[in-house]
Amino acid sequence: MELIYGTIIGLTLGLTGAGGSIITIPILLYLLDMNVHSATGTSLVVVGVGSLAGAIQYMLGKQKYVHWKISIVFSIAGIFGAFLGSYINSLLPAKIILFGFSALMLIIGILMLRQKEYQNKKECEQQISLKNIKGLSAWSKFVLAGFGIGLMTGFFGVGGGFLIVPTLVLILDFPMKDAIATSLLVIALNCLWGILSRLSGVGSIEITQAIYISVGAIIGMAIGVVIAKRIKANYLTRIFSYFVIILAFYMFARTLGLIH
C-alpha cells in the first residue's frame, strides 16, 4: 500500500507543483497510523525525493524549465528556518501541530483557488535571472519568503510549493511552468535541510516506510510531470484545491474528536 500512496502523492505534486505534498501528512497519519512527529519527519523524505525526481525530469527535457541557481539561493534562505521549524516541532504536543496543519491546508486550498490571478501572467520565453530582483524591498520579500518556507518545511514536513510558485511568478516574473519546475528543486533542497535536522537528533523519521512511499512518489511524479507538460493544469488544480479544503475541515474535526 505504501507504493500506491506514494504514487498518489507524486502524481499530485507533479501535476500541481504547488500544494501536492500537503496530502502526504494525512496519508501518513490516517492510512499508515504514524504519530504526528514521525509523520512530519517521514514526509520530508517522501516529498524531497518526489520533488527531486520531478526536477530532474524537467532538467532532462529539451526546454530547461528549472533555474537551478535561483533554486539554490532561494533554498539557502530557508536553511535556518528548516532547522528552527524542526526544533519547534519536537517541542510542541501533537494536537497543536495538527490544528496548525489543518489551518495551513485551508490556507493552501484558498491560495491555490486564487492562482488564476497570476497563473497566466507570463507565457512567453524570457531571460530569467536574479537580476530581476530589483531593490531592497524585493530582496527582502525574496529572503523572507525563503526563510518562511524553510520554517514551514521543517515544522510541518511539507514542501511549500504553494508559496514558492507565486513568489517566483510575482517577484522574478517567472512563466508558470518555469515556476512549477523550479519550485520542485527548491522543495527538494528545503526537505534536505529538514531531514538533516531530524538526523541530528531533532524529531524522527520512519526510514523503511519512507523508502517504499518514496519509490511510489517517483513513479507518480514521472506520470504527473508528463501530464503537466501537455495540459493546462488550471482545472485539475481547482479540483485539488477543493479537496484540500475539505480535508482540512476533516482533520480539524478529527483532532477535536468530533469524528473518528
- Please tell me the predicted confidence (pLDDT) of residue 20: 62
Residue with cell string 519536537: 90
- Please tell me the predicted confidence (pLDDT) of residue 121: 53
Distances (CA, A) of 21 to 9, 10, 11, 115, 237: 6, 8, 10, 17, 13
Helix locations, the chain, DSSP H: 2-16, 24-26, 36-59, 68-76, 79-91, 94-113, 135-156, 161-172, 176-199, 207-230, 234-256
- Please tell me the predicted confidence (pLDDT) of residue 99: 92
Q: Measuring CA to CA, which residue among 15, 56, 7 is closest to residue 229?
A: 15
Cell of 26: 494525512
Residue with cell string 529539451: 62
Length of the chain as a residue count: 260
Residue with cell string 518514496: 214
Cell of 14: 507533479
Identify the segments of the chain with pLDDT beneath 70: 16-21, 62, 115-132, 229, 231-236
Q: How far apart are the first and last CA of the chain?
A: 22
Q: Exposed, middle or buried, 232 (CB in 10 Å: 0-12/13-18/19+)? A: exposed
**Domain map of the chain by residue range?**
2-256
Residues in CB range of 259: below 8 A, 6 or more apart = 250, 253
**pLDDT tens per residue across span 162-204:** 778 777 877 777 777 788 788 888 888 888 988 988 888 777 8
d(CA 101, CA 250): 12
d(CA 195, CA 43): 9
- Please tell me the predicted confidence (pLDDT) of residue 96: 92
